[in-house]
């Protein structure tokens, strides 16, 4: 499960950077549904850190809510396994 949590957070972090780059370049974007979905299933830390580093989606309150919920999910999964 630890590999799942690491993978999902790294993936969301990277996708936040890709989406920010594509937004600035006017290219096809990663859908918000994908970003929110990955956030809620345990990628909250990756989304939060990616949002801060890339300055992306940080003004949208629903992203902030999903990131916090995703962090809670990740912590519950992590400590349930221990």
Write down the pLDDT at residue 69. 98
pLDDT the model gives residue 81: 74
Domain range annotation of the chain: 2-81
Secondary element (H or E) of residue 49: helix 44-54
The pLDDT of 48-58, averaged and rounded, is 96
For the cut 90, the answer to whether the pLDDT of residue 12 exceeds it is yes
Mean pLDDT value across residues 34-55: 97
Residue-level pLDDT at 82: 61
Confidence of residue 1 (pLDDT cuts 50, 70, 90): confident
DSSP secondary structure string, 49-69?
A: HHHHHHT-S-S-HHHHHHHHH
Predicted confidence (pLDDT) at residue 15 exceeds the cutoff of 70: yes
């Amino acid at each position: 499960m630890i590999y799942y949590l690491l993978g999902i957070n790294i993936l969301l972090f990277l996708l936040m950077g890709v989406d920010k780059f594509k937004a600035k370049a006017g290219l096809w974007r990663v859908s918000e549904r994908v970003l929110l979905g990955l956030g809620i299933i345990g990628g909250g830390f990756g989304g939060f850190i990616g949002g801060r580093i890339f300055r992306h989606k940080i003004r949208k309150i629903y992203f902030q809510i999903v990131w916090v919920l995703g962090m809670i999910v990740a912590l519950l999964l992590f400590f349930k396994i221990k």
